[in-house]
């Protein structure tokens, strides 16, 4: 190279680990991570989820232990999903004070209150016999406004059980406003809402449906979750949720939607999280089990990509392990 001026050599700043660390534009901290966890009613031993090696449906006891380990590793938050023994048309177990999630929330807030942020997914699909995220009309569509009343009641039940943050994931129109109103009326003005604001109808949720036992028994979720073809619509969903009182917003899934994460992060001033969903986890675990990928490097690279795209918090089934790797 014969340049008339000193050549630009970006490689200079890559020449030692210390230099690379110094100039890194993106960092992932354990506190940015949120661990999704499943707790199942009526089991004595944890139940492995076959499509998510390393993930289990917890008993109340094993949940407490795993939550402690996450807190110990410095993980920022937990996202709890309940799997009830009995399901019915209206998902009655979801807001039952004696339901599995409410019991688990009481356990966790007694054990760990203040040490880690305890969140709960607020939806009906794990609780309904038909597996949809809301109540059905006689013709089998999901009834938006009737469902809002159920969500309001679940929010109050979770708050009464000690949840720190509620996270509505059902993609009903007006859900954030309905939940905010109900929480405020019940005196839970300080419980924030993390809205699954831009949630797509994604095939990447496949393994989750085994973990949470919430597969729709007929049809799919395309009439309430977003179409993967749409990006601007995500901004509209986010805008509405913030106007309705969302304290934080989420994009889901993450890896195939990092463009959405970036757009949302640029357009709002509330914290933005992204969910590294079950299918992303399963793909990496399966490839790593075959020796086709360097598992730890891929985990850290994906988490870095989420942060680089602009996500502030990341929901990931690897949260505890990643937190340990990052310390
Ligand atoms: C709905 C919900 C789902 C996930 C989180 N909350 C499933 C769905 O919408 O069908 C998926 C999470 C994952 O795949 O890891 N309660």
What's the gap in Å between 181 CA and the centre of ligand 1? Answer: 25
pLDDT band at 3 (very low <50, low <70, confident <90, very high): low
pLDDT band at 6 (very low <50, low <70, confident <90, very high): confident
What angle is formed at CA 275 by the lines to CA 257 and CA 316, rounded to 5 degrees?
Answer: 130
Statement: residue 4 has pLDDT above 80: no
Between β-strands 47-48 and 56-58, what pairing exists: parallel, antiparallel or unpaired?
antiparallel
Question: Are 38 and 58 in contact, with CB atoms under 8 Å apart?
Answer: yes
Length of the chain: 327
Statement: residue 267 has pLDDT above 80: yes
Q: What is the pLDDT of residues 36-65, one digit of tens each?
A: 999 999 999 999 999 999 999 999 999 999
Helices H, strands E: what count in the chain? 11, 10
Q: What is the pLDDT of residues 198-229, one digit of tens each?
A: 999 999 999 999 999 999 999 999 999 999 99
pLDDT for res 2:
60
Give the CATH superfamily of 26-326. Answer: Aldolase class I (3.20.20.70)
Q: Which residues neighbour 94 within 8 Å (Cβ) at sequence distance 6 or greater?
A: 82, 84, 101, 123, 124, 126, 127, 150, 154, 157
Mutate which of 35, 208, 251, 252 for ligand 1 pocket (most atoms within 8 A of beta carbon):
208
Q: Is the CB of 205 under 6 A from ligand 1?
A: yes
Q: At what angle do helices 319-326 and 295-309 cross, to 10 degrees?
A: 90
Q: Determine the Cα–Cα distance for residues 149 and 152; give it in Å rounded to an integer.
A: 5
Q: What is the pLDDT of residues 101-119, one digit of tens each?
A: 999 999 999 999 999 999 9
The residues annotated with a catalytic role in the active site are 199, 252
Statement: residue 1 has pLDDT above 60: no
CA nearest neighbour of 77 among 184, 159, 188, 194: 194
Q: What is the mean pLDDT of residues 232-239?
A: 98
Q: What is the mean pLDDT of residues 66-88?
A: 98
Say which residue, 263 or 1, is predicted with more confidence.
263
Q: What is the pLDDT of residues 191-202, one digit of tens each?
A: 999 999 999 999
Tell me if the bond preceding 105 is cis, omega within 30° of 0.
no
pLDDT for res 7:
87
What angle is formed at CA 192 by the lines to CA 186 and CA 197, rounded to 5 degrees?
Answer: 115
Question: Are 84 and 93 in contact, with CB atoms under 8 Å apart?
Answer: yes
Q: Is the CB of 321 under 6 A from ligand 1?
A: no
Residue 71 φ/ψ, nearest 5 degrees:
-60, -45
């Amino acid at each position: 190279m014969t340049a008339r001026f000193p050549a630009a050599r970006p490689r200079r700043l890559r020449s030692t680990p210390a230099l690379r660390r110094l100039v890194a534009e993106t960092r992932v901290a354990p506190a940015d991570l949120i661990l999704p966890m499943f707790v199942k009613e009526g089991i004595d031993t944890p139940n492995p989820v076959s499509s998510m090696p390393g993930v289990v449906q917890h008993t109340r006891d094993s949940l407490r232990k795993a939550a402690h380990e996450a807190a110990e590793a410095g993980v920022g938050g937990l996202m709890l999903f309940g799997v009830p023994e009995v399901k019915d048309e209206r998902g009655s177990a979801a807001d039952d004070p004696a339901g599995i999630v409410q019991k688990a929330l009481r356990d966790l807030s007694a054990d760990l209150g203040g040490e880690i942020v305890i969140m709960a997914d607020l939806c009906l699909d794990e609780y309904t016999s038909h597996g949809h995220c809301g109540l059905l009309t006689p013709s089998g569509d999901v009834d938006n406004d009737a469902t809002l009343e159920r969500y309001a009641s679940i929010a109050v039940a979770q708050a009464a059980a000690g949840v720190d943050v509620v996270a509505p994931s059902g993609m009903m129109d007006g859900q954030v406003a309905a939940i905010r109103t109900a929480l405020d009326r019940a005196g839970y003005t300080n419980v924030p809402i993390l809205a699954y604001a831009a949630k797509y109808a994604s095939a990447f949720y496949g393994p989750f449906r085994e973990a949470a036992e919430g597969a729709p028994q007929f049809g799919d979720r395309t009439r309430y979750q977003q179409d993967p073809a749409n990006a601007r619509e995500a901004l509209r969903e986010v805008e509405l949720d913030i106007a309705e009182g969302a304290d934080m917003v989420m994009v889901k899934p993450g890896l195939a939607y990092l463009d959405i994460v970036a757009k949302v992060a640029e357009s709002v001033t509330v914290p933005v999280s992204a969910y590294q969903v079950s299918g992303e986890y399963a793909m990496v675990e399966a490839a790593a089990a075959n020796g086709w990928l360097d598992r730890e490097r891929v985990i850290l690279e994906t988490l870095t990509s989420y942060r680089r795209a602009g996500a502030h918090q990341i929901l990931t089934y690897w949260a505890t392990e990643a937190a340990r790797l990052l310390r």
